[in-house]
Structure 1
Amino acid sequence: MTTWLIVLLTLSLAVNTALAVFLFRLRRTPPPPVSTVPALGPSARELAELHEQLAAARQETGAVEEMLRGRELELARLRALHKEAQDAHGHEAESAGREEIAAAQRQVRALQDVVRQVTGERDAARAEAEKARQRLNEAEARTDAPFGPDEVSPAIPRRIPLGRDTTSDSSVDGADLGPVVVRAASVRGDRSRDEGEHRRDAFLLRFAEELPSPTLLSVVAAGTPHGRWTQSAADRACRNLAAQVARYAEPLGHQLFRPTDSDDDLTALLRTAMQGVAHSMRLLTRGEGQGGESDDTALGVAPTALLSRLGDTRQRDHVVFGVGDGALMLLRDGAWRHVFTPGTTAAEQGLRLPSAAPRIRCARVTTQPGDLLALCSAPMAELLLRPEAGEWFAGRWAGRQPYLTTFLSEVNVPARVAGGDRTVVCLWDFGDAREARAAAS
């Protein structure tokens, strides 16, 4: 009789334990992932969420510890009953209920396994609570952010863009081309968001397959604010420039990446290509100007383009050209350098297509493994040249390949610039494909 009582108690204890573990797992919900919004410094909402995560983790730890103590007490009581039954009946009880006792012992071992599992879950809950506490301490201790926290992230627009020429608030693209990695992003500026205007900039990444050597074409086109068709004109300038490069691929192939004492022939070719771009832009407003001509005031765009030679090489050649106030920046040894801008004076930086197509300027640039080139619109170049902001971007982009969403968030970091929209194409030169794969890992 005592043996059957022990067996029933054991089975009841095992069922209760399994049910308690099942309910505990059902109640548990994983803590929300740490936000990766690149705001520089925690917001009040983020701190509150971290406090809630820490409190929830501590509560879970307490619940697991209480349940573990209860299971240990029940296990000790069961062992005591088993020992009393063996002492009272001796060999007679053992011979009469050997199979029942063996089953009870198996149940005890199963209960021990459950206790060990619950102990592991308790330790995991403690570890999660400790991680939450560390994240909270780090967030509260961050006082070195160069821009300060922002209560509402500017990455989430609060107005839909207005206007007939409207486009998306943000855009991102990129590719891993062996030793060359490229990321591109364009975001609407704070001023345009506040005023409900749309983004005016555009960019393009294209493999110029018509050229004899593998070449990447990167274009950034910044539209003038308040122009009626500047976004469409910027987008058309990017796409038509790719078409013009393909059209003049044969003569460009002889001029682009070869030693030469003079770039007059190359400049003349690029000027002809840019004039073709200007003609394509004017088709947008044909008949809207005086006398049925195009209205150039509604189209103003400052394009800057980069032709980059691909393939494994220890010294990579590039040709940069454009009109207006765009810029090409170089990140080397942790410091940004201003390499090229189409306009050297204030008057030249104010030039825009389509009227300024003959005023194109170009230059040759060479990069080494580990260098980063950033083809920027003027507001983005201004941000990179600020000491604290430049260090912030350099720390995130030097020698690494960000995911597209991460790159877009970093370009959209909360920092006001005077010019509005930010557009940038970043090109990482790793020398050969093996170094690029090592950096990615």
Structure 2
Amino acid sequence: MTTTTWLIILLVLSVVANIALTARPAVSRRRPLPLPPATTVRDSPQTLHALESTRLELEQARQAADHATGLMQGRDLELGRVRGMLTEAQARAADAAGAAQEALALRKEREELLTRLRERAEEVRLRSRERDDTQAQALARIHELERRLADAEAGAGGPLGPEPVSPAIPRQLPLGRDTTADSSVDGADLGPVVVRAASARGDRARHDGEHRRDAVLLRFAEEIPTPTLLSAVAAGSPRGRWSQSAADRACRSLAAQVGRYGESLGRELYGPDGDDGALGALLRTALQGVAHSMRLVTRGEGPGGEADDGAIEVALTGLLTRLGDGREREHLVFGVGDGALLRLRDGAWSAVFTPGESAPDRTLRLPADAARVGWARLTTLPGDVLAVCSPPMAELLLREDVGSWFAARWAGRQPYLTSFLSEVNAPVRSTGGDRSVVCLWDFGDARDARSATR
């Protein structure tokens, strides 16, 4: 029911109540007729009828008064209910007014947010245009450099001319009793397998006047019945006083140990009944022999006349490669420490082996941890390049910017020894450690190797 309906009902009830109130005093103002003097009269039928009529009128008057009283009470209840409804309506009106104000505030805030959003969209559009312009300029610059590089290659007959890389030249000779040459290089063209090895003193050692602590080795393992090449990289600890001598001794002793167990290694490597358990035992025995030979470098310098293992700590990584033509070439890689074996395939470098699978294993060193040797078998396809690396060299090859630089120079080519040393010794910013690497090119067939020389 609406408010108007309730007001009409209220007016009707007010009229009824006024009528009842008007009738009530009229009844009360009725005065009884003066009684005649008391006389002894006998009740007649007419008198009894009059008395009964009067009694009925009084009863009707009382009922009318009670009805009027009930109507008054109902009016009071209705008035209370109407007042409640009015109060509730006023509260709702107040709430509606507050909601309207809140909606107005929200609408205003929405407009402000839309304005800021349009401003940000305009800013993003401008930034995007600036980015596109910058990218276009960078691409134009890259195309210009590529054109100039192509012109230079066409005019000089080589990737970067007759001197593609200017190697870093040391400013002073190293100091100390354990010094060796600043850099070393070796290599061989073995039919379908081409190998190059180089070790260069790091920038940090050159700056501090310290000596190179790494060593590399290439050796034909003639004691193994199947023609096999041994490649090794030993990285001496920067803290070791005799780490360079220990690294060189580790490489030479490894070649001696491979020769000593050559027949057994060949049987487990290439024989139809080769057993991985026996192969792992042979490698542990060989590395323990290397550790014993290394300790001779500092014999008598440790406490009690023993060898000082801390002065000769070395991380060693070795690779045995089966020679001869073949579509899939077998290799065995093994070692202790944080060296790595990387593979270059389809223009990208990837790590295929590290002697230490976890961080604690990568801190292992010879001679103390000779029994913790890690190893794995792998195969290469024609066109693959394997790189046995010391940790600083592995970091360089796995860097996106520098790795692609080396990949462009080594993929599908067999560099001259001097070119290979220059590229390993390129003035590229790095961690400053010694760079040592043995690279092995697998051409599958010897005829393909001859056509890739540069």
Q: TM-score range by the shorter chain?
A: 0.5 to 0.7
Contact 1:218 1:305 in 2 (8 A): yes
User: Are positions 1:264 and 2:277 aligned together?
Assistant: yes
Distance 1:418 1:386 in 2: 12
User: Are positions 1:241 and 2:254 aligned together?
Assistant: yes
Structure 1 unaligned regions, length at least 5: 1-133, 140-151
What SS class does the counterpart of residue 440 from structure 1 fall into? Answer: coil
Instruction: Look up the match of 2:373.
Output: 360
Q: TM-score, normalised by structure 2?
A: 0.63
Instruction: Look up the match of 1:281.
Output: 294
Instruction: Look up the match of 1:424.
Output: 437
Distance 1:168 1:326 in 2: 22
**Aligned with 1:175 (options 154, 171, 188):** 188
What SS class does the counterpart of residue 256 from structure 1 fall into? Answer: helix
When residues 153 and 331 of structure 1 are mapped into structure 2, their CA distance, relative to the original with a 3 A threshold, is closer
What SS class does the counterpart of residue 344 from structure 1 fall into? Answer: coil
Contact 1:227 1:297 in 2 (8 A): yes
User: 1:429 Cα shift?
Assistant: 0.3
User: 1:312 Cα shift?
Assistant: 0.6
The AA in structure 1 aligned to 2:424 is V
Distance 1:229 1:335 in 2: 36
The correspondence of residues 21-420 of structure 1 with structure 2, limited to 5 A, is 155-258=168-271, 263-418=276-431, 420=433
- Provide, for residues 35-72 of structure 1, a one-character-per-residue CA deviation record: whole Å limited to 9, x for no partner: xxxxxxxxxxxxxxxxxxxxxxxxxxxxxxxxxxxxxx
The AA in structure 2 aligned to 1:398 is A
What SS class does the counterpart of residue 319 from structure 2 fall into? Answer: strand
The AA in structure 2 aligned to 1:193 is R
Aligned residues: CA RMSD: 1.9
Distance 1:399 1:154 in 2: 22
What SS class does the counterpart of residue 452 from structure 2 fall into? Answer: helix
When residues 416 and 257 of structure 1 are mapped into structure 2, their CA distance, relative to the original with a 3 A threshold, is farther
Distance 1:205 1:274 in 2: 17
Distance 1:137 1:390 in 2: 21
User: 1:351 Cα shift?
Assistant: 0.9
User: 1:347 Cα shift?
Assistant: 1.2
User: 1:419 Cα shift?
Assistant: 5.5
The AA in structure 2 aligned to 1:429 is D
Question: Which deviates more, 249-258 or 420-429?
Answer: 249-258
User: Are positions 1:437 and 2:450 aligned together?
Assistant: yes
Contact 2:284 2:371 in 1 (8 A): yes
When residues 136 and 209 of structure 1 are mapped into structure 2, their CA distance, relative to the original with a 3 A threshold, is closer
Contact 2:205 2:432 in 1 (8 A): no
User: 1:346 Cα shift?
Assistant: 1.5
Distance 1:338 1:288 in 2: 38
Distance 2:259 2:413 in 1: 32
User: 1:260 Cα shift?
Assistant: 6.8
What SS class does the counterpart of residue 439 from structure 2 fall into? Answer: strand
- Of structures 1 and 2, the larger Rg is shown by 2
Distance 1:155 1:414 in 2: 5
User: 1:136 Cα shift?
Assistant: 11
User: 1:311 Cα shift?
Assistant: 0.3
Distance 1:159 1:195 in 2: 9
What SS class does the counterpart of residue 275 from structure 1 fall into? Answer: helix
Instruction: Look up the match of 2:43.
Output: none
Distance 2:301 2:318 in 1: 29
Instruction: Look up the match of 2:133.
Output: none
When residues 361 and 136 of structure 1 are mapped into structure 2, their CA distance, relative to the original with a 3 A threshold, is closer
Distance 1:271 1:253 in 2: 16
Contact 1:179 1:312 in 2 (8 A): yes
Distance 2:331 2:438 in 1: 14
User: 1:304 Cα shift?
Assistant: 0.2
Contact 1:217 1:308 in 2 (8 A): yes
What SS class does the counterpart of residue 425 from structure 1 fall into? Answer: strand
What SS class does the counterpart of residue 237 from structure 1 fall into? Answer: helix
When residues 261 and 246 of structure 1 are mapped into structure 2, their CA distance, relative to the original with a 3 A threshold, is closer
The AA in structure 1 aligned to 2:412 is G
What SS class does the counterpart of residue 307 from structure 2 fall into? Answer: coil
The AA in structure 2 aligned to 1:296 is D
Contact 1:378 1:419 in 2 (8 A): no
Distance 2:311 2:429 in 1: 26
Distance 2:230 2:166 in 1: 33
When residues 137 and 384 of structure 1 are mapped into structure 2, their CA distance, relative to the original with a 3 A threshold, is closer
The AA in structure 2 aligned to 1:247 is R
User: 1:257 Cα shift?
Assistant: 2.6
Distance 1:385 1:262 in 2: 34
User: 1:155 Cα shift?
Assistant: 2.1
Distance 1:262 1:215 in 2: 19
Distance 2:244 2:148 in 1: 42
Structure 2 unaligned regions, length at least 5: 1-146, 153-164
Instruction: Look up the match of 2:63.
Output: none
The AA in structure 1 aligned to 2:421 is L
The AA in structure 2 aligned to 1:427 is L
Contact 2:329 2:381 in 1 (8 A): yes
Question: Which deviates more, 348-357 or 414-423?
Answer: 414-423
